[in-house]
Amino acid sequence: MRPILMKGHERPLTFLKYNRDGDLLFSCAKDHTPTVWFADNGERLGTYRGHNGAVWCCDVSRDSSRLITGSADQTAMLWDVQTGTQLHTFTFDSPARSVDFSVGDKLAVITTDPFMGLTSAIHVKRISKDPSEHVCLFCLCADILVVEIVPEISESVLVLKGPQGRINRAVWGPLNKTIISAGEDAVIRIWDAETGKILKESDKEIGHKKGITSLQKSVDGSHFITGSLDKSAKLWDIRTLTLIKNYTTERPVNAVTMSPLLNHVVLGGGQDASAVTTTDHRAGKFEAKFYDKILTEEIGGVKGHFGPINALAFNPDGKSFASGGEDGYVRLHHFDQDYFNIKI
């Protein structure tokens, strides 16, 4: 399995996301410029220029027409995937950390960091079907439509507050009825997306002991996996928040993903970025570790990065995966046939 090395970012990677068809890969990094690549050969297709800070997260709509990005410049931006034009900018009073489109792409959940006395928050925003139409109407008769159109997409439908510390990830639950959040306080919360009430919280006894860095849903939306600085990943039922499985490793986990094809879980991490320069890359444990989802046993690893792995994503067809590291590289791995014949 020879990886394809994709060098398009000047700073560490923060997030990777495939589109639903699996032919495009979107990458976010601390260099302000989200990038889109062809997922089969790693060729760079284009960039999305407009942010003035590190881009922490992105999501792409079901039809691959819209991209949303969250950045440290206190904005979340909506882009046209094909042309790279900015369709709308959501502005906040603190950095935007996580973004996620709802089923149907009409809503987006965006989390903001604690900042200058403000607490962290989860915002639900309405995404207009075609913001470009608003822009045209806006040009034709600005006097009338400033009032009508701009608030429609800018105002929050719902704002959730409460968790202490940063919320690193918030995603939609089944049928957009709930929002699942996790972050620095190591507690997973399920919120009612209509009322904003907390429905469930993870048990401190069985839950993570340190901050949760990543959260990923399964393809069928029945369960999700979380990775934490406590050197473990946990598999949870998305409706009942029951702990299903626990995966332990010997390094802090920065990124988690699940295979849509086989019962495999991939964990990525490494020690803190500040300690990287004093470590030989062989000793820093910078590999992506594969685990059997059911038996929780380690089945293999993919080496290559020269720093901690910050982002992982599986292609929806299950035949390749991508990893993004502190070293600024995206590594694209297409599996050999042997991988699909692994027996434990």
Q: Each residue of 282-321: pLDDT tens digit?
A: 555 789 999 999 999 999 999 988 899 999 999 999 999 9
Quote the CA–CA distance of 83 and 80 in Å, as a whole number: 6
Domains of the chain, first to last: 10-161 (2.130.10.10)
How confident is the model over 3-15, as pLDDT tens digits?
Answer: 999 999 999 999 9
- Mean pLDDT within 74-98: 96
pTM recorded for the entire structure:
0.90
Confidence class of residue 254 from pLDDT cuts 50, 70 and 90? very high
How confident is the model over 203-229, as pLDDT tens digits?
Answer: 999 999 999 999 999 999 999 999 999
Torsion of CA 86, 90, 96, 99, to 10 degrees: -70
Strands 298-302 and 309-314: unpaired
Residue 129 has pLDDT above 80, yes or no: no
- What own/partner pairs with CB < 8 Å and gap ≥ 24 does 21-26 have? 21/64, 21/316, 22/315, 22/316, 22/317, 24/60, 24/64, 24/81, 25/313, 25/322, 25/330, 25/332, 26/58, 26/60, 26/67
How confident is the model over 171-189, as pLDDT tens digits?
Answer: 999 999 999 999 999 999 9
The alpha carbon of residue 328 and the mean position of all alpha carbons in its chain are separated, in whole angstroms, by 17
Residue ranges of alpha helices (H) inside 38-108 are none
Residue 133 has pLDDT above 70, yes or no: no
C-alpha angle with apex 295: 290 to 297, nearest 5 degrees? Answer: 40
Task: Tell me if residue 199 falls in helix, strand or coil.
Answer: strand
Please provide the average confidence, as pLDDT, over all residues in the chain. Answer: 89
